[in-house]
Chains A and B, each alone.
Chain A
């Protein structure tokens, strides 16, 4: 069991409230996943200044105290609980990620992009929201996940979101049945994995489809064809927000939509506090239908 919450803001006047709204959603999701949690924030200037390339990391030690010195140039780092976000105004995303991997070989890269920060940790979601100072976050899109682990260990790296491609994040409620087979196939194609988590296989698969030139909708349709098991997935890129469920659709999912925002959650109560919810269009996604929203 896991809890999923996501919010894409269309009305810019709500961007300063992204963190506050997402904190409320994460709190409601805590009952479905009390062991660990993670969030992805798109456009939070505290973590990813506008126009900067950013790489999110989990490190097993305190090596990140001298990031700027080790990476050189104009890089800077923000440590948020168990995660660190490194950003640079001049390096591209790929170059920054390469530099980070060379300088901190034991770190796990949990996200990269021009506006994306990924924060994860082990602990109760409410405590992690405090650790992330999530209430103060701003931005145009955020997703949150609370985990009750079934397929791999409770570690920060095993927490969602899984972000394995530039600006792309995936959160998963469920369990893939054939993830070992697909992981082997992807490894044979040269794809490297950070964890033994089944959801990471889904994220790597989506990344491989996007790299092959498919759009997000097509990539998720291909995922439905290839993956067995139970899944409700929320997948985001810098400007899109997508939801898909398996053929049985037993893992919960509710979508609410207004002119000002679109939100997805495991349970209705996660968005009971969102502004304008009384008049939102609310529905539960159909099985194996890919729903996408573009900003």
Chain B
């Protein structure tokens, strides 16, 4: 945000490839604004530098996918797979996100101010995700690491087949998935949740959340279950 000038890329005039190519060559610290995104897929993907990118409108699939270091803000709704496989940086969605938000992401912070649909944080591998609204069914499915904070409600089968990701939900959980259990909220959890809410610019009360995690019962194959296969 510190940059004095902002480069505007108007997608009613230029192609998505023009945009991404410009962003890939941009110097760290520069600011970019994307006009008329029109729900196009693959906007601002594969960024590696610490850019500040603002997208003025809705985006399609995989917005800010594979992000490293950049800050990408979307003033609109995003399609499937926003910030999928993000490594670092921040992606903020001011609207709703479609399914598989933050899928397989290794790091960085994904903030969705509205609702996220099904499978939010599927196979998350270290990313922090803060959702201001609700998340859909099978969120954090097979999550391996990272934190998912849901300020609203969670749909069916939250945390199914979870490994080590930590889940915080303020509202109702429709059901927990296989091997996902509620866990005690200890001081260190309240502390990290406070940090996450602060990073996401939210003023929710950390004490109103409950914590969920893996029961770790699916880590090892049990020979007693061999007849099931």
Contact = CB atoms under 8 A, between A and B. Distances in A.
Contact of A267 (B39, B96, B115): B39
Contacts of B39: 28, 267-270, 272
Contacts of B61: 267
A267 B60 contact: yes
**B interface, size bucket:** 20 to 34
Q: Is the interface of B mostly helix, strand, loop or mixed?
A: loop
Contacts of A270: 39
Contacts of B155: 286
Contacts, number: 51
Contacts of B98: 252, 254, 267-268, 284
A249 interface: yes
16 contacts: A249-B99, A249-B136, A250-B118, A252-B79, A252-B80, A254-B98, A267-B61, A268-B98, A269-B39, A269-B60, A282-B77, A283-B96, A284-B117, A284-B118, A284-B136, A287-B118
Interface of A: 28, 249-250, 252, 254, 267-270, 272, 282-284, 286-287
Given A269-B38, A270-B39, A282-B77, 20 more contacts: A28-B39, A249-B137, A252-B79, A252-B98, A252-B99, A267-B61, A268-B77, A268-B78, A268-B98, A269-B39, A269-B58, A269-B79, A272-B39, A272-B57, A283-B96, A284-B98, A284-B118, A286-B137, A286-B155, A287-B137
The 8 closest A-B pairs by CB, nearest first: A269-B39, A284-B117, A268-B77, A268-B58, A249-B118, A272-B58, A272-B39, A267-B79
Contacts of A287: 118, 137, 156
Interface of B: 38-40, 57-58, 60-61, 77-80, 96, 98-99, 115, 117-118, 136-137, 155-156
Q: Which of B58, B61, B78, B115 has the largest count of A CB atoms less than 10 A from its CB?
A: B58
B130 to A, nearest CB: 19
Nearest to A269: B39
Nearest to B155: A286
Q: Which of B57, B96, B98, B118 has the largest count of A CB atoms less than 10 A from its CB?
A: B118
A269 B95 CA distance: 13
Nearest to B100: A250
Contacts of A249: 99, 118, 136-137
A270 B60 CA distance: 10
